Amino acid sequence: MSISYYHTQLQKIKNSDNKDLLKMHYEEHDVFLKLIDESEETITLLTKWRKQYRNNFGSDFTIDENKTKKWIKEQVLSNIDKIVFLIYVDNQKIGIISTSEYDEDTNSAILDTMMKDPKFELPGLMTTIEKIYLKWMFDGLKLEKIRGVLFSDNLKMMKIHTKCGWRLLDVVPIEQTKTKDGIKWEKSTLKKPKKDIERYYNIIELVREDLMKNFNDIQCEVLCD
Ligand SMILES: CC(C)(COP(=O)(O)OP(=O)(O)OC[C@H]1O[C@@H](n2cnc3c(N)ncnc32)[C@H](O)[C@@H]1OP(=O)(O)O)[C@@H](O)C(=O)NCCC(=O)NCCS
- The pLDDT tens digits for 11-44 are 999 999 989 999 999 999 999 999 999 999 999 9
Q: Is 160 in the pocket of ligand 1 (CB under 6 A)?
A: yes
Stretch (H or E) spanning 52? helix 40-52
Other Cβ atoms within 10 Å of 206 Cβ, number: 22
pLDDT above 80 (res 2): no
**3-state SS track over 134-150:** HHHHHHHCCCCEEEEEE
Average pLDDT score, the chain: 96
Q: Is 200 in the pocket of ligand 1 (CB under 6 A)?
A: no
**Could you tell me whether strands 20-26 and 29-35 are parallel, antiparallel, or unpaired per DSSP bridges?**
antiparallel
Distance CA 1, CA 91 (A): 37
**Which residue type sits at 175?**
E
Residue 11 · residue 211 · CB < 8 Å: no
Distance CA 154, CA 21 (A): 28
Q: Is 114 in the pocket of ligand 1 (CB under 6 A)?
A: yes
3-state secondary structure of 74: helix
**Which residue type sits at 106?**
T
Q: What percent of the chain has pLDDT over 90?
A: 92
Q: Is 157 in the pocket of ligand 1 (CB under 6 A)?
A: yes
Rg (CA), the chain: 17
Closest protein CA for atom 41 of ligand 1: 115
Length of the chain: 225
User: 126 CA distance to ligand 1 centroid (A)?
Assistant: 6
Q: Which residue of 59, 84, 157, 185 sits with most ligand 1 atoms within 8 Å of its CB, as the best mutation to test the pocket?
A: 157
Instruction: Report the CATH number that the domain containing residue 217 is assigned in CATH.
Output: 3.40.630.30
Nearest in space to 46 (alpha carbons), one of 20, 22, 70: 70
Stretch 181-210: mean pLDDT:
91
User: 152 CA distance to ligand 1 centroid (A)?
Assistant: 16
| Residue-level pLDDT at 191 | 77
Q: What confidence tier does 72 reach under pLDDT thresholds 50, 70, 90?
A: very high
pLDDT above 90 (res 192): no
Domain that holds residue 54: 5-222
Stretch 173-198: mean pLDDT:
89
Domains contained in the chain, number: 1
DSSP label of 17: S
| Residue-level pLDDT at 136 | 98
